[in-house]
Amino acid sequence: MCGIVGCIGPNAVNVVIDGLKRLEYRGYDSVGIAAVAGKNLKVVKDAIRIEEFLKRYDLGAISKTSVAIGHTRWATHGVVNETNAHPHTDCAGRIAVVHNGIIENHHDLRLRLIKTGHKIRSDTDTELIAHLIEERHSGDLLEAVRLASSELVGSFAIGVVEAGRDEVVLARKMSPLVVGVGDDGIYAASDVVALLERTNRFIFLEDGDCARLTFKGVKVVDGMSGREIERKIETVAWNVEDAEKEGYPHFMLKEIYEQPRALQQTIGTHIDGASFSFRQAKDVEKLFKEKQKVALVACGTAYHACVVGSYLLRDYTKLGYSCDVASEFRYAPPPLDDKTVLIAVSQSGETADTLAAVRLAKEQGAKILAICNVKTSTLVRLADATLFTLAGPEIGVASTKAYTAQLAVLCALVSHLGGMESIGKNPESGVALRRHLLGLPLRVRQALDNAEGAVERIAERFYKSQTFLYLGRRYNFATAYEGALKLKEISYIHAEGYGAGEMKHGPIALVQPDYPTVAIVVRDSVYEKILSNVEEIKARRGPVIAVACKDDERVKKLTDYTIEVPEVYEPLYPAVCITPLQLLAYKIATLRGCDVDKPRNLAKSVTVE
């Protein structure tokens, strides 16, 4: 969601602006900075993109300052305008605050602050934090921030500066915030990606931490007691090149084509290519010992990976299972107890609803298994065990390589569970799945290579369409939903994913000559069934785009367009079939002139509920 960057060091404003540019992928509608210029505080902000911001405002007068914070806002409270943009200041204009999160008790705080004489200028919850700090300030900014943050209910990552002070003060609760330790300065950001050009050494603040950054270093205190605590400096293996486009016009396209490599790295981490064994067997067997059920939970694209995981659990294990969208889970959870393993899937490990579900499950005695791409994330710290996806940084808002890596990890995990005594159905089938999984990177590469020409033709034909229907069954039930999500989120075309068997219960009423349907019709256990669904669409003169196995003449004759994919082991079709659909969404979006890396109203990491 919102992006925060802070710096204490040379050319702090330029460092902050560079960091905010690297956080553009998170989604935003406004931008602003606050710089300490001697005894004064300079705030510049507007409801525009960073590029236009730099053209409109002359920052030369503050470019050499050594203390600054900056923010890109994704609106939650108050309309998108200059007044509501961050940073926000106190009554005297001497304290500036940037914030990512949601303050749930903002209404009561606003009434109290107004009653005590504070002048509230914006509609945001963030401005209230500046006034709370003002109230609590008696000479020590860190202590004032600590006391103010103790009054806040909700989630927050806060950055604060004050006129006349060479320090940046931070506070964190349930929203990500990291400190970068560099040779030339100390930095803060919502994500390490913002700072990789400056350092690869980070302090990952924990919930309840407050911190002071000065030229001398970093001091971290407990937000409740004020007691100083030690947080170790960790080295991050990612580098700035990992987060660059490398000649591609968009991050999304680069990340689509990085999938074979990401899969190779992920699968190799979890499966021994010589013995076909599962490398994390010991940890997983300990976690699942005497367990009876699994709860899968995630949001967005990661939820679609969980849907595939639910089919895997059904086919390979005897475990009871549930599969829930995290935003619904905490309000209507399945039965949870010490016989449950909750599998939480998240690219960033900072998705607010997923973290809330994890905390609830832990309270009920469940064990937590995380599937995550970020080793230093909150989810990983909360989990009892983690299986990592090695997709590298994913910058494009629309998830691509993280999704297929999540599918690979779920296949590897369930293939081993299937061989465990008491919960597995058939050890030999699990070994077969792992053998086939090792060949998945090549099959995904073939799918991408085969798709290019067909995808170009289909995009040219349908990019002006107003709506699409995506159909799939069994393992590719989730592929239909994910394919539709990719199209709608980056092209702004309405698209609906549906189980093909449910088509006659409503969607078939929409079929007409200008209503394209994308059907996943591969040689799997429901091949004949979905072919019948395609026949029904063609009988009503609806155009059909099929994702089908290579050289399937039956599908070619029946449908209008075909995207060919290699034939694979059935549970692996979701990874093979989604890649050309990612490419199709990308091509359609670019033909429509959309910003595929930063689609409107969306954020990469949803860190508020």
DSSP string covering 184-230, please?
A: S-EEEESSGGGGTTT-SEEEEPPTTEEEEEETTEEEEEETTT--EE-
Angstrom CA distances, 376 to 68, 114, 349, 561, stand at 25, 40, 8, 44
Active-site residue, selected from the candidate residues 254, 291, 598, 604:
604
How many angstroms separate the CA atoms of 578 and 209, rounded?
41
Tokens 């990789």 correspond to what residue?
196
Contact 280, 438 (CB under 8 A): no
CB burial of residue 91 (10 Å; 0-12, 13-18, 19+): middle
- State the DSSP H helix or E strand holding residue 159, giving kind and residue range, or none if neither: strand 154-162
Coil, strand or helix at 569: coil
- Kindly report whether the peptide bond that precedes residue 87 is cis, defined as omega within 30 degrees of 0: yes
What amino acid occupies position 290?
E
Q: Give the contacts of 107 (CB within 8 A, at least 6 positions apart).
A: none
DSSP 512: -
Nearest alpha-carbon partner for 565 in 536, 525, 522, 601: 522
Question: Is 604 tagged catalytic?
Answer: yes
What amino acid occupies position 518?
V
Residues linked to residue 519 through DSSP beta bridges, in sequence order: 471, 546
Question: Is 2 tagged catalytic?
Answer: yes
Contact 89, 41 (CB under 8 A): yes
How many angstroms separate the CA atoms of 568 and 524, rounded?
9
How many angstroms separate the CA atoms of 33 and 569, rounded?
53
Contact 233, 255 (CB under 8 A): no
What amino acid occupies position 280?
Q
Q: Read off the tokens for 127.
A: 């401005």
Q: Give the contacts of 9 (CB within 8 A, at least 6 positions apart).
A: 15, 66, 182, 184, 185, 186, 187, 215
Q: Give the contacts of 180 (CB within 8 A, at least 6 positions apart).
A: 186, 187, 188, 189, 192, 195, 198, 199, 201, 202
Q: Read off the tokens for 8.
A: 């204490």
Q: Read off the tokens for 46.
A: 């507007």
Tokens 């059904």 correspond to what residue?
314
What amino acid occupies position 171?
A
What amino acid occupies position 76?
T
**So which residues are the catalytic ones?**
2, 604
